[in-house]
Amino acid sequence: MEIAERIAAEFKLGVAQVARTLALMNEGSTIPFIARYRKEQTGNLNEVRLRELDRRRKYFQELEERRASILNILREQGNLTPELGTAIEGTADKHELEDLYQPFKPKRMTRASKAREAGLEPLARRLDGLEDPAADLAAEAAKFIDPEKGIETAEAALQGAGDILAEEWAENAEARKAYRELARTEGVLVASARKEFEGQSSKYEMYYHFRESVGRLPSHRVLAMIRGEREKVLKIELAVPKKPALRDLVVRFVRHPKSAAAPRLVDIALDALDRLLAPTIETEIRSEIREKAEAEAFKVFGDNLRDLLLAAPAGPKPVLGIDPGFRTGCKVAAVDGTGKFLEYRTIFPNAPKNDTDGAKLALLEMIDEHKIGLIAVGNGTAGRETETFVRACLDELSAAKRPVCVVVNESGASVYSASDAAVKEFPRMDVTIRGAISIARRLQDPLSELVKIEPKSIGVGQYQHDVDQASLRKSLDDVVESCVNSVGVDLNLASEELLKYVSGLNRATASAIVARRHENGPFASREDLKAVKGFGEKTFEQAAGFLRIPGASNPLDNSAVHPERYAFVEEMAGKLGTTVPQMIGNEELLKSVDPRKFSGPGLGLPTIRDILKELEKPGRDPRSEFRYAVFSENARTVDDLAPDQVLEGVVSNIVDFGAFVDIGVHQDGLVHISEMGDKFVSDPHKLVKVGQLVRVRILSVDKERKRIGLSMKKTS
């Protein structure tokens, strides 16, 4: 069966639809490009669905490569029978493919291979096929005694023959498949404390006597137990029901239950299970459990990252970014509306210097000199103290000149400050000043600034250090790519770090764009991209629609309309008796257009509707309107909290079991999933998202363990 047919059956889609989609992927088209500009070919599949198809495409491509390799090896060995070839060609599962190949894999020396070298294969065959209830096994085995080969007794011969059968049975594809399915459906993951931790308090106490079905294990518990095992606090094992597993082997392989060999064959089946089959399959299932948990963790992290990257931008306003501190002072950086760095100062409004007068003078001077509209205060150490100081200073300004003070999540700012990108941009600047600049810019445009930071350093994940790092990076890079292309990028302002995520671009082409911009000034049109080194026709096709040029002579260059459709837009304008510039933004005219009158070969209704929608508001930002939280003046530390107190906060992270909320006391509180609504909530993401403003009520405060329990119920 072809890959397109397999995927179509799996996703319940048309074979031709899937085949066209896979062809686009195989040609090198990106997911964002296909989702936006090739809807007719895909049947209007969205980006999420396309990524699922792409994952399965890669899975089956790897399967086909492995299948071809195994078939070649078996031919060279002379072991490829018609029946085996048919089975190998017919499987669509990697595990089953490896099961079929297992008996023929080159192996290190095993007990079975030693027995074969000792000439015990005929005895194994005799035991396997014996029907006589009265046969003398010892007499049969005595014929194979050979001290020179290490077989000194009849029992040793029987043991060797049993080793041969045990290995064969444990490598049988159907037996492995059956045990694997039993482990998946009836297996139980068991955790317990290591001997030295029994009776000792630790953060893993809830797992000291833990059992849960494999099928019901939530990802956060799996990853917590894996971390506990890695830290040598817990022992983890997979418990699979032994009786049905042994019964399956006996029924499958003991063909003559009344023969004299039957009791020994049952013992051989038990050995095959305990020594060979169970350990290998259970290791495999544990790996599956981990991969499933990691996939869920990737999804949670990805959803949170998406919300953070697509947070509402404050826009092109001059901003002061403040990286708070005590002893070393607060670093204050001014940037203009484009994010260009202007000036920095260090002020000491907090202990131990408490130079509030000098700090106020410096702050007010910077506000006046740079016409500051927003002040971004990092939420780290000394954040609340610095915010209180800033608000007191602003009270002295008139309403017309008073900037808005906003507390900004500074997670990852220090990572950016020491990164190659920061060093390249500000080579002679202290890391703390770079951090203040980053804090200011992430208020102006979170997406443009946060793409400079490795996603896992932003702090919105779940056990991000416990999962496969390469898979995590790929998963999060897909999210960043999706976000960047859904918003679009200003070609003349975007950094190299942002440009590299644009559809069709990479680090090299992004660097070439920035270099061309520095050498020749701003791009005047999308066509100018073709003069960039390494920017061929395919790259232009994939990238151009996501790159914007405000003020371009052709207004379509500042829209999501792809250059390949410019001629169509001009033709449509002519038929409507107008021009492209006059048509853009004319909602009344555009809403009156019947897209069916303009559809034709290669240009269907989905694309035409997208074009009309884009022309109504070209280059529109899909992100929401900018809002900010105001933390309570009466709750600055954990000591200020009391039960039933209602506060405003910002969702900082979402996990399977609830959401963490920053309420401005240097310690996020947890809204457990059971406290998120009056009705049952299956997924916290359905109610809140990272960066969302929420009202919460204090349930409990554990100062010793620094835990704050919150509720979203009864907050009015």
Of the residues 77, 104, 131, which one is the last residue of a structural domain? 104
Q: Is residue 632 part of a domain?
A: no
CATH number for the domain harbouring residue 74: 1.10.10.650
Looking at the structure, do residues 226 and 155 belong to the same domain, yes or no? Answer: yes
Model pTM score: 0.84
**157 & 189 share domain:** yes
- 142 & 190 share domain: yes
237 and 98, same structural domain?
no
CATH code at position 686 = 2.40.50.140
Over range 434-441, report the average pLDDT. 95
Q: Is residue 399 part of a domain?
A: yes
The tens digit of pLDDT for each residue in 221-250 reads 999 999 999 999 999 999 999 999 999 999
Q: Same structural domain for residues 341 and 250? A: no
**Token pair of 272 as six digits:** 């095959």
Examine residue 454 and state whether it is found in any structural domain, yes or no: no
- Together in a domain, 260 and 153: yes
Residue 1: pLDDT above 60? no
The answer to the question of residue 507 being in a domain is: no
Are 118 and 98 in the same domain?
no
Same domain, 255 and 350: no
pLDDT score at 606: 94
CATH code of 536's domain: 1.10.150.310
pLDDT at 461: 64
Structure tokens at 329: 């002072």
Same-domain pairing of 144 and 127 = yes
Neighbours of 203 (CB within 10 A): 12
User: Which of 406, 423, 444 is at the close of a domain?
Assistant: 444
What are the tens digits of pLDDT across the range 541-589?
Answer: 999 999 999 999 999 999 999 999 999 999 999 999 999 999 999 999 9
The verdict on residue 471 lying in a domain is no
User: What percent of the chain is predicted at pLDDT more than 70?
Assistant: 99
Q: What is the pLDDT of residues 107-135, one digit of tens each?
A: 889 999 999 999 999 999 999 999 999 99
At residue 208, does pLDDT exceed 80?
yes
Same domain for 605 and 699? no
What CATH number does residue 275 fall under? 1.10.3500.10
Residue 197: predicted pLDDT = 92
Mean pLDDT value of segment 580-608: 91
Q: pLDDT tens digits for 145-186?
A: 999 999 999 999 999 999 999 999 999 999 999 999 999 999
Domain annotation covers residue 509? no
User: Quick check: 417 and 440 in contact, CB under 8 A?
Assistant: no
68 CB-contact burial (10 Å; exposed 0-12 / middle 13-18 / buried 19+): exposed
Of 444, 474, 507, at which residue does a domain stop?
A: 444
| CATH code for the domain of 430 | 3.30.420.140
**pLDDT value for 631:** 82
**pLDDT value of position 621:** 85
Q: Give the separation between CA 41 and CA 31, rounded to whole angstroms.
A: 13
Distances (CA, A) of 306 to 161, 199, 256, 311: 60, 42, 62, 8
Confidence of residue 433 (pLDDT cuts 50, 70, 90): very high
Query: Could you tell me which residues come within 8 angstroms of residue 404 by beta carbon, excluding any fewer than 6 positions away?
Result: 373, 374, 375, 628
Domain count across the chain: 5
Average pLDDT, the chain: 93
Give me the percent of the chain exceeding a pLDDT of 90: 77
Mean pLDDT value across residues 690-701: 90
Q: Has residue 595 got a pLDDT over 80?
A: yes
CA distance 309 to 300: 14
Range(s) of the domain holding residue 698? 638-711
Answer whether residue 625 is part of any domain.
no
Q: How confident is the model at residue 465 (pLDDT cuts 50, 70, 90)?
A: confident
* Domain assignment present for 466: no
User: Per-residue confidence at 207, pLDDT binned at 50, 70, 90?
Assistant: very high
Quick one: pLDDT at residue 162? Answer: 97
What pLDDT, in 10s, does the model give residues 14-54?
A: 999 999 999 999 999 999 999 999 999 999 999 999 999 99
Residues 655 and 565 in one domain: no
Same domain, yes or no, for 206 and 344? no
Q: Is 545:486 a contact under the CB 8 Å cutoff?
A: no
